[in-house]
Structures are given as C-alpha cells and as structure tokens.
Amino acid sequence: MHEPLVFRVLVALILAAFVVHRGYYSRQLPPAERETVDRMGNSPATITAGILSLIALASSLVYVFFPSRLAWASLPFPGWVRWGGLVLSLGGFLLLEASQRALGHNWSDQPRVTATQHLVTTGPYHRIRHPIYTSFLLILGALLPLSANGCLGLSWIASVALEASIRIRYEEQAMAGRFGEAYLEYMRRTGRLLPRF
C-alpha cells in the first residue's frame, strides 16, 4: 500500500514541533532544585509508559521513513478523517501554549511541588485541571487519524493516557496536600481533562 507523502511529512512535523515546544519550555522555565519540596518517583507504571513511548516513537520513525513496513496496521480512514487529525493536533498545540503561558514559572517538566508554587486557576485552568495532558492527548492522539495507522496511533494514545493518569494521580494528591481546601474547591468546579461548565 502506498502511503501519501503529505501525511508522513505531517506526522514528522507534528512530532518535531512537539519536541521543540517541550524543549523550549524546559530551557526557559527550568525548575529550581533547591525549591523542590516533593517530586513524583518512578514506578512500574511510569516505566511501562516509557516503554510504550519508545514503541510509539519507533513506529513513527518507521511510518515516516519505511511506511510499507507498517502497512499491516493501516486503517481505512477517509481523507476527511485524516485531515481532521491535523485540525485536532493544531487545536492541541493552541491549548498547550495557552496552558504553558498560564502556568508560567509554576510549570515543571516532571511533576513536583515547589516552595514558591501557587495555585493557577486562570486561562485553560479556569475550567480544566490538567489542560496540558489534554493537549498531549489531542496532539499525539491525532496521529491515529492523521497516519491512519493503528500501531502508530494506538501506541501514542496508550503511552500518553498511561503517563497522564499516573501524573494526574500524583499531582492531585500533592496539590491537595499543598493547598488544602482551596484545591479541593477547585477540583469541585473544574473537570479533570475536559471543561466543566
């Protein structure tokens, strides 16, 4: 099966943009180790999520450079579904950028609690507690329809969903411990990954 070059290039560009975006904020807003009060440790689930991410990355590289090797996992998506994946991904990037800007120096590449951290409830955080994970699911989950490849798409969705669930569990416990009733009230009026109106 011949895989159109345009979709292979778009998958590569989305992954490159995702890595560049994460790298930019990791360099701009590195967390101060001396301010770290608590941080999430590794667990079998985080290691599993890491392995799934490696499988997803490897399948993405194979899809981009040797698409015939992944033809066995091709899905019969019509063109409009595939282009819809691009729209989802772009929406995810917009949400990710808005979330990063709202968090500012409260952001960290690894879940942690810092001594100077404050509770952010503006921007996307006004209605969603974890909009960055929502954006990850949109950006990387959109690779399923865009690539029309089950191996690539489902491995990204599985890795992001597992990693996000682990991080969310830690972050919500840590934030409730740090901010007490203010965070519990925030939880009551916001959605975890989708807005609550």
pLDDT surpassing 90 at residue 152:
yes
**What is the structure's pLDDT at 187?**
96
For residue 93, what are the CA distances in angstroms to 36, 107, 136, 142?
28, 16, 8, 11
pLDDT surpassing 70 at residue 18:
yes
For the entire predicted model, the pTM comes to 0.92
**What is the structure's pLDDT at 45?**
84
Instruction: Give tens-digit pLDDT for 20-57.
Output: 999 998 888 666 666 665 666 678 888 999 999 999 99
Instruction: Give tens-digit pLDDT for 64-117.
Output: 999 999 999 999 999 999 999 999 999 999 999 999 999 988 888 877 777 778
In contact, 180 and 113? CB cutoff 8 Å: no
Alpha carbons 112 and 33: distance in angstroms, whole number:
10
pLDDT surpassing 70 at residue 119:
yes
3-state SS, residue 112: strand
**What is the structure's pLDDT at 33?**
60
**What is the structure's pLDDT at 39?**
63
Alpha carbons 67 and 13: distance in angstroms, whole number:
16
pLDDT, mean of residues 165-171:
92
Q: Print burial letters for 87-121: b (CB count within 10 Å at least 16), e (below 16).
A: ebbeebbebbebbbebbeeebbeebbbbeebeebb
**What is the structure's pLDDT at 1?**
54
Residue 64 in tokens:
């981009």
Alpha carbons 1 and 73: distance in angstroms, whole number:
11
Full set of structural domains in the chain with CATH: 5-189 (1.20.120.1630)
Sequence letter at residue 133 = Y
Sign for the CA dihedral angle at 161, 191, 177, 36 comes to: positive
Half-sphere exposure of 179 (CA within 13 A, CB side): 20
- Average pLDDT score, the chain: 91
